[in-house]
């Protein structure tokens, strides 16, 4: 597989993981539950949420 297709595949996987995390967050799951299901650390889950969720002001 060429480097370009590898990069595209990795980007798609990362975007899918972010969508999964955000959907769980919107449905009210705790950070601990999301981290366990996504096989990520709580810090990684928090980073995705902070990066993608709009700030309420």
pLDDT along the chain (57 residues), means of 10: 78 90 97 97 96 67
Place of tokens 């919107």: 26
How many CA within 13 A on the CB side of residue 29?
A: 19
Name the pTM for this structure: 0.77
Domain boundaries, the chain: 17-57
18-30 per-residue burial string, b: 16 or more CB within 10 A, e: under 16: beebbebbeeebe
- Non-local (6+) Cβ contacts of 52 within 8 A are 18, 22
């Amino acid at each position: 597989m060429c480097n370009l297709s590898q990069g595209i595949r990795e980007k798609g996987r990362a975007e899918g993981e972010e969508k999964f995390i955000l959907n769980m967050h919107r449905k009210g799951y705790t950070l601990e539950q999301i981290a366990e299901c996504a096989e990520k650390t709580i810090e990684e889950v928090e980073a995705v949420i902070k990066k993608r969720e709009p700030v309420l002001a």
